[in-house]
Amino acid sequence: MSPGLFTFGETMGLVAADGIGPLGHAKSFSFGIGGAESNVAIGVARLGGEATWLGRVGPDATGALIASRIAAAGVRTLAVTDESFTGLMVRHRRSGEFAQVDYHRAGSAGSRLSPADVPAHELQDASIVHVTGITPALSGTARAAVFQSVETARAAGVAVSVDVNFRAKLWSRFDAAPVLRDLVSRADIVFASPEEAELFVDPGDVAANLAELGPAEVIVKDGGRGCSALIEGVRLSKAALSVTVVDPVGAGDAFVAGYLADRLAGAAPEERLTTAIATGAFAVTVPGDCEGAPTRDDLAALIGDDVRR
């Protein structure tokens, strides 16, 4: 296998109410999987890149489903079986504009990730190591796994990618801010929304303020307004595409996958942003966290043949 993306974190079972409205009025539910890191790995694989995902899962049907689904998507899957349960999230759309997610993950298998779970050679042999700000919020051992892995990758000259991905249901802004700032300062590539970035840098020129912490590639995800970036000192921006939104969940992960897949393919920064915008746009047209991850042909149908590589 050629070097590609290596990522790790918690993937959970996803119980999703079908339709729109209060959870108590839902008539049917679907069951799938969801996790920021595995979403990115699946997105990269769908776009033709090599990707590996590692995580802990429980000795239950949900854990087995997670491992099989990620592997079936073309991702090299390193699932460590833990004696604890596999985490779950329950999601419903209270209205056409807002989705609500409840987590059931305290003490889960995924939260028990530790530095010993992440082999040094996997980090050293990758082209990009991708982590998120979700994993450090899960437990002390998970946080240690993230920081140790980042340092191992950096020592080997491997690019480190960080998606800030602040989750208010996992930790407070006060607790998160110094940890996320420290993590971003160790990254080569960082993704954040303006609101996430302002947890630990001054508002205003968010991209420049993030770049001052150290990352050479800063990408600010701004939803329906598109994105802006400061990459190796060059400012770039892309407008969002106009699409019919079916399910907004997973758009940010799809965006990250598009950018990293193009980076792995050797594309120029502007091309990476074009693909990222298109991948995020395509994802919201399909229900589910990762089910809508597009192929290159899907993106070509959306915006043209320039995304075929």
Dump pLDDT digits (tens) for 44-59: 999 999 999 999 999 9
Going by C-alpha positions, the residue among 19, 98, 13, 47 that lies closest to residue 255 is 47
The type of residue at 85 is F
Indicate the pLDDT class of residue 1, thresholds 50, 70 and 90. very low
Domains of the chain, residue spans = 5-307
Close Cβ partners of 47 (under 8 Å, ≥ 6 residues apart): 257, 258, 261, 262, 275, 279, 294, 295, 296, 299
**In this structure, how many other beta carbons lie within 10 angstroms of the beta carbon of residue 124?**
16
Burial of residue 65 (number of CB atoms within 10 Å: 0-12, 13-18, 19+): middle
User: Which has the higher per-residue pLDDT, 86 or 25?
Assistant: 86
- Cα angle 221, 223, 229 (rounded to 5 degrees) comes to 25
Among 3.40.50.720, 3.40.1190.20, 3.40.50.1370, 3.10.20.30, name the CATH number for the domain at 5-307.
3.40.1190.20
* Res 234: pLDDT: 97
Going by C-alpha positions, the residue among 9, 27, 306 that lies closest to residue 149 is 9
* Res 308: pLDDT: 46
Indicate the pLDDT class of residue 27, thresholds 50, 70 and 90. confident
* Res 97: pLDDT: 66
- Distance CA(286)–CA(281), nearest Å, equals 10
Which residues have a catalytic role annotated?
253
Average pLDDT over residues 223-234: 93
The type of residue at 244 is T
For residue range 174-214, list pLDDT tens digits in order.
999 999 999 999 999 999 999 999 999 999 899 999 999 99
- Cα angle 205, 179, 206 (rounded to 5 degrees) comes to 5
* Res 247: pLDDT: 65
pTM of the model: 0.93
For residue range 259-306, list pLDDT tens digits in order.
999 999 999 999 999 999 999 988 877 766 677 788 899 888 887 655
* Res 288: pLDDT: 64
Q: Which helix (H) or strand (E) holds 71?
A: helix 61-72
For residue range 152-164, list pLDDT tens digits in order.
999 999 999 999 9
Close Cβ partners of 234 (under 8 Å, ≥ 6 residues apart): 269
